[in-house]
Structure 1
Amino acid sequence: MTTYVLTAIGDDRPGLVAALAAAVDENGGNWVDSQLALLAGKFAGIVQVDVPEGNVGAFLEALPVLAEEVGLEVEANVAGAGAGSPTGESLRLHLLGQDRTGMVREVTSALTSQGATIDGLRSWTREAPEGGGMLFEAEAEVRLAAGADDDGIREALEQIAAELMVDLELDATD
C-alpha cells in the first residue's frame, strides 16, 4: 500500500466528495482520514488514502479527470516518513477577541517559539454583540514537543493574549 495525502479544491457543488470517493474506491483504495470544509463558496479538503501498489498508476491518472468532469482539482502527495502518532502532550487552545490583522501570526509564532505543533486549527469571524465590531475566534489542537511541559507555552500565550487583548484558554485534551 502507498499512502497519499490528497488536497482538493473546487467551486462548491453537489457530488464533489462522491466523485473523489469513487476515484479512490474504483482503484482499490481506502479512504483513511479527511478534513473537508466550505469556505467562501469553495470546497476544500485534505484526505489521506491508502492505494494498493498495483493500482497507483491508474489512481493517479484518475485524479486529473475529476477536474474535467466535476471541477475538482486534486493533488496527490506521498505521505511523509514522519507520519504517525503524535508524541508530545496535546492541548486545546481557544482564542476570542476583537478582529485585527496579525492575530494568527502572533499566536502561531508564540507556539512555534515553544516548539509546539498545530494539529488542527479552525478560525472564524462574527459580529460582536450590540454593534461592537467583528470578533475573531479560533480553536486549535496543539501538540507540545516530546518531553516538554505546558508552562513555557502558557507563558508565551499569556503574553500574546495581553498584547492582543484577547481571551485565551489552554486546556489539556481528554
Structure 2
Amino acid sequence: MTTYVLTAIGDDRPGLVAALAAAVDEHGGNWVDSQLALLAGKFAGIVQVELPDGEVEAFLAALPALADEVGLDVEASAAGADGSGAAHAVEGVPFRLRLLGQDRTGMVREVTSALTSQGATIDALRSWAREAPEGGGMLFEAEAEVRLPGGVEADGVRDALERIAAELMVDLELDAAE
C-alpha cells in the first residue's frame, strides 16, 4: 500500500466528496483521514488515502477527470518525507490554544510567530470571524492544537503569548490537551 495526501478545491456543489470517494474506491483505495471545509463558496479538503501499489498510476491518471466531471481540482502528493507514506513520530507535549478578540489584520501572524519563537509546532488551526454582540464590530476566534518540543516549558509559551495578547487586545488560553 502507498499513502497519498490529496488536496482538493472547487466551487461548492453537491457531490464533490462523493466523486472523490468514488475515485478512491474504484482503485481499491482506503480513505484514511480527512479535513474538509467550505470557505467563501469554495469547497476545500485534504485527504489521506492508501492505495494498492498496482493501482497508484491509474488512480493518479484518473484525478484530472474530476475537474471536468464535477469541477473538483485534486492534487496528490506521496506521504512521508521519503515518499513511502511511513508515519513519522510527532514528539512533544500537546496543548490547546484558544484566542478571542476584536478582528484586525495580522493576528494569525503574531500568534504563530510567538509560537514559532518557542519551537512549537501547529498540528491544527481553525479560525473564523463573527459579529460581536450588540453591534460591537467583528470578533476573531481561533483554536489550535500545538505541540511543544521536549524541554520547552508551557510557561515560556504562555509568556510569549501574553506579551502579544495585550498588544492585540485578545484573550488567549493555552491548556494541556486532554
Same fold (TM over 0.5): yes
- Give the alignment's Cα RMSD to 1 decimal: 1.1
**Take 1:76 and 1:163, find their aligned partners in 2: how far apart are those partners?**
41
Aligned residue-pair number? 174
Q: TM-score, normalised by structure 1?
A: 0.97
Q: TM-score, normalised by structure 2?
A: 0.94
Matched, 1:46 2:46: yes
Q: CA deviation at 1:2?
A: 1.1
Q: Cα gap change, 1:147/1:24 in structure 2, threshold over 3 Å: closer, same or farther?
A: farther
Instruction: Name the structure 2 match of 1:149.
Output: 153
Cα shift readout 1:31-69 (whole Å, capped 9, x = no counterpart)? 110000001110000000011110000000111010010
Structure 2: segments with no counterpart, 5+ residues: none
Instruction: Name the structure 2 match of 1:80.
Output: 80
SS of residue in 1 equivalent to 2:6: strand
Cα shift readout 1:109-132 (whole Å, capped 9, x = no counterpart)? 001111111111111111111111
Question: Which residue of 69, 86, 95 corresponds with 1:91?
Answer: 95
Q: CA deviation at 1:83?
A: 3.9
Instruction: Name the structure 1 match of 2:172.
Output: 168
Cα shift readout 1:6-32 (whole Å, capped 9, x = no counterpart)? 000000011100000011111111111
Instruction: Give the share of equivalent positions with the same residue, in percent.
Output: 81
Q: Is the 2:97–2:173 contact (alpha carbons within 8 Å) kept by the matching residues of 1? A: yes
- Stretches of 4+ aligned residues off by more than 6 angstroms: none
Question: Which residue of 119, 140, 145 corresponds with 2:123?
Answer: 119
